[in-house]
Structure 1
Amino acid sequence: MQIVSISSLKGGVGKSSVVLGLASAALEAQVPTLVVDLDPHGDASTALGVRAAPGQDVGSVLRRPRKGAMASVATVSPWTRHPITPEVRGTRHHAGWQPWGSPTARGPVLDVAPGSAASSHLDHATYRAKDLKRLETALHGLDRYELVLIDCPPTLSALTRMAWAASHMVLSVAEPSLFSVAGTRRTMTALAQFENSRIWAVPDAGVIVNRFRDGSDEQQHRVRELQDLFGQLVVDPVLPDAPAVQQAQGAAWPVHRWPGTAAEDVSRRFSTVLQGMMH
């Protein structure tokens, strides 16, 4: 099971959008996936069509974590039932296309451990060392999933550190802008400091560029700046600023099943990123 935290210490960079795009790619590839929504705002849960029932959310599990307890709140996303339109099938499911995940008896697996304000009690700067084990404990033994995507809050809180402690990889989301580059530096510096303070380090990290506009000289400059700062940690390909992404999210629909050439392009990019994460 690969556990990946999607993180940023700057809000508004499309962190949850990246989580959703990767979840869509995993669904398309038939990779059994759990999305853990650690953000108290619960935006990823909303877009995945899941609303937390009282006491059935991530925050409630983390109050008294037990091994594998996250399974008790995992809810099937309606995304698994959304049809693939003939237009999408004709353009993306070409002859010879095969999913590369492990098929399961119950069909495509995309579950959500929904977020809510109940996790706010851990969204603060102070924490005890044992708090960092809460999420790792709750995810222990969930072998039904090949991938766990964690949507972190946009703060350096106990929740964020808890996610990093449980993860095999941390992806920092950056927009190609001055302030976002600075925010990415803060995120990666905080991650390095966090690794130095623990017995074991996060095995892998990367920077994923989101909302890129190809015709912008300023954005191209910022992408080069990120590449100069982080080298091979910058994920290829970058993710475009495509209205199709917002349209699909507004409809609570996987972008891989959204019609149009723009959706096809961004879907292909998310799938490429996912394959790089899983191999």
Structure 2
Amino acid sequence: MQVVSISSLKGGVGKTSVTTGLASAALAAGIPTLVVDLDPHADASTALGVAPGDQLDIGRMLKNPRRARLTENVVPSGWVARAGHAGSGILDVAVGSAYTGVYDRPDLGRRDLRRLSTVLAGTNNYELVLVDCPPSLNGLTRMAWSASDKVTLVAEPGLFSVAGTERTLRAIQLFRQEFAPSLSPAGIVANRVRHGSSEHAFRLAEMQSMFGELLLTPHIPEQANWQQIQGAAHSIHHWPGDSAKNAAGLFDTLLGNLVRSNGSVRNRSHR
């Protein structure tokens, strides 16, 4: 099981969109996947078409991680039952909630940082776990990094986002030294790219110079209907139109580039 945190220091760069795009690609590829919605805003849960019922949300699982029984409390994504997906793949969600905010503090100790690791230790049902982190370097993000094999950073090709990405890479290096020596950056996703923008072209060249091979390809273009897709709780792979189809193909390639280095996650089928 490979655990990948999706992180950004800066809000509004489309971190949750990247998380759900990768989840959509994993479902299309037949990779059993769990999305952990660790952001207190729980936007990923909304986009994945789930809501807490009788199951514990991820915040309450973190409260008593040794008794969490993850497999009994995850919820199947609403995507699985749509567009002929029934029975064709596994995409489960550890539902987000505002309750997780109690852990989003800068002063968590080592024991608290292991809470998510303990929760995830309760299952071997998945090949891939995607953790949607809040846009900060407080306790929840550090808890996610403690449980992860890799961190994927999301950035827009803009001045402040690029600077934030550089700071996050330094934070990962410091965190590895103190808490998680096996953690590694999986790469940087350039998101919401406007190909006709000279500013974006300049910043992409800057990112290539600064980050080298860490800058993943393909880049994800700005998608005008992302809010509509997420609000309807649909997979990008099953939204009509050429724009969505092209974006789905980009996420297929991006997922392959992300997980290529880990033999335990492999594409089982291709569209």
Taking structure 2 as the reference length, the TM-score comes to: 0.91
- 1:120 corresponds to which letter in structure 2? G
The 5 Å alignment of 1:12-51 reads 12-51=12-51
The 5 Å alignment of 1:1-279 reads 1-53=1-53, 56-66=56-66, 69-83=69-83, 106-198=87-179, 200-279=181-260
Distance 1:233 1:67, change over 3 A: farther
Does the 8 Å CA contact 1:37/1:115 hold for their aligned counterparts? yes
- SS in structure 2 of the partner of residue 78 of structure 1: coil
Query: Which whole-Å deviations, capped at 9, do the CAs of 1:182-205 have from their partners, x for residues lacking one?
Result: 111121111111111125230343
- SS in structure 2 of the partner of residue 79 of structure 1: coil
- SS in structure 1 of the partner of residue 5 of structure 2: strand
d(CA) in 2 for partners of 1:79, 1:35:
13
d(CA) in 1 for partners of 2:64, 2:55:
12
Which sections of structure 1, spanning at least 5 residues, go unmatched?
86-104
Distance 1:145 1:259, change over 3 A: same
Does the 8 Å CA contact 2:44/2:132 hold for their aligned counterparts? yes
Distance 1:119 1:199, change over 3 A: closer
d(CA) in 2 for partners of 1:199, 1:83:
40
Shift of 1:67: 7.2
Does the 8 Å CA contact 2:70/2:122 hold for their aligned counterparts? no
d(CA) in 2 for partners of 1:270, 1:213:
17
Distance 1:253 1:270, change over 3 A: same
CA RMSD in angstroms, aligned pairs only: 1.8
Structure 1's consecutive aligned runs of 4 or more residues displaced over 3 angstroms after TM superposition are none
Shift of 1:278: 2.2
Greater CA deviation, 52-61 or 123-132?
Answer: 52-61
Query: Which whole-Å deviations, capped at 9, do the CAs of 1:150-170 have from their partners, x for residues lacking one?
Result: 000111111100101111110
Taking structure 1 as the reference length, the TM-score comes to: 0.89
Does the 8 Å CA contact 1:36/1:115 hold for their aligned counterparts? yes
d(CA) in 2 for partners of 1:69, 1:196:
31
State the identity %.
50
Does the 8 Å CA contact 1:67/1:141 hold for their aligned counterparts? no
d(CA) in 2 for partners of 1:38, 1:146:
19
Shift of 1:71: 2.1
d(CA) in 2 for partners of 1:185, 1:31:
31
